[in-house]
Structure 1
């Protein structure tokens, strides 16, 4: 797109994730305009538009997609509808950003990727941690050899069941038809994608997934292991019926290690022969701010975005391998 062109966005699915995390980032990024939002409930769509100062609202996604005033579309719905909407955006010939995960499985993700790739259309996936300063700092430490040759990475993520889990109240994140592995799909996707960004593509992955609690239809306990193409080994354990919350990543190298949290704003820690260094790098108020600015730089400035359809497709493949779905 030309550098002097203002890009007008439409959002499909103006739910909770768009209230603070992402929607305002599209409004606040220079050169972008949030022109329209869509939600199947017209009253809620209108309410969102009024509260956020968005000029247009729709209750039908296709009407937003074919609107000639909309240049690009952000799909922020649950993952089971990503393919349906994404294929329509590709058919309309417009750039698109899709919330993560790209789709509930690799085959759907591949279909989305091909639709955009065949038309040479920009496709972004909202793995925004690739753009956050705290993780670009970790990448810098690794690139500078602060822990020598990287040997392995390990992630432990646990949480307690929440009130919705215990009450049986409907939650798409634990509906096996929408998110087969439950919170793993929603949360682990962020970390696995981040590890590929930090350490390179994965060539082998496997795992075990089960439902231990019986509170919902999706999986609630998963373990996985993988090997990056450069020989680095990885392992992860995700349990969503634990007595406590824990989110710890350790990257071990030949001369030190790095510790951080994927979700918590805990310090990032570097330990090597020079001692221990801790940095607190807070997230921005609108956590997708840097992700969206990088979309702008890709579309208007020619700088490649760190989270494109191709990288997200790889993450989908890794997740399916861990869940034994490939």
Structure 2
């Protein structure tokens, strides 16, 4: 049951139109002259993301030298990135290629759920990776005992499933709202801020829920990562040799860059005041955490990690 506004009445009327309700993802419809350029650009980016993250996933599974907990988390992170980008980019490419921008309500809700679920999982997995680096650097003698395979698997599974009830509830709350008038979503995927603008009722409760969930899955992981790295930096500065300090900083710097890029753009999108939300800014920020981060992650990790480079060379030689 959804509410639509009739021109002859002041109050929305209830109508059973769930099956026929569709939204229109405007995406980059305001740039028709760039349509095929954007199609080629995003298709190339999508292929690069799948290939680069797929290669990292493959080498971390096959190379005996990359069987430590750090690379176990990295392989899961690469797999997550491939799933994450596949939720938004294929439909964006279809919309650019066919100009059929309509998306059914169920498909829109499904896309929103998976975007939120995978984004939350990524935040938690980044905090797990920070904890792994904390144990490795601050408690090196106990590292094999603490970060055993069973705990690593539990941490990864926990990262994947913790967000599910929260994001299911949030998605249900959004799509329980009555949508009136225009069904055009000025975005390239079904995201919360542009959908709330289409609701014809007060959305303050929904906005508060968005802030609460964002704090739980963005701010809390960020604080955990910040706490881990404050301990890590303190320990590194106490190392006796400059070479040891340089190696430790190099190991952690890749993870820090990914954290800043992903959590930074995500927190600005969902935690800044409603009055400062503009549709174009939201789209640009969304490009950062849905496309740019998955594209740069393999580059950041591979170019700054000698073990990954060596494993890649062996794979290419074979």
Shared fold, TM over 0.5: no
Structure showing greater radius of gyration is 2
Q: Which has the higher contact order (CA 8 A, sep 6+)?
A: 2
What's the TM-score bracket when you normalise by the shorter of the two chains?
under 0.3
Higher helix share: 2
Structure 1 or 2: larger strand share? 1
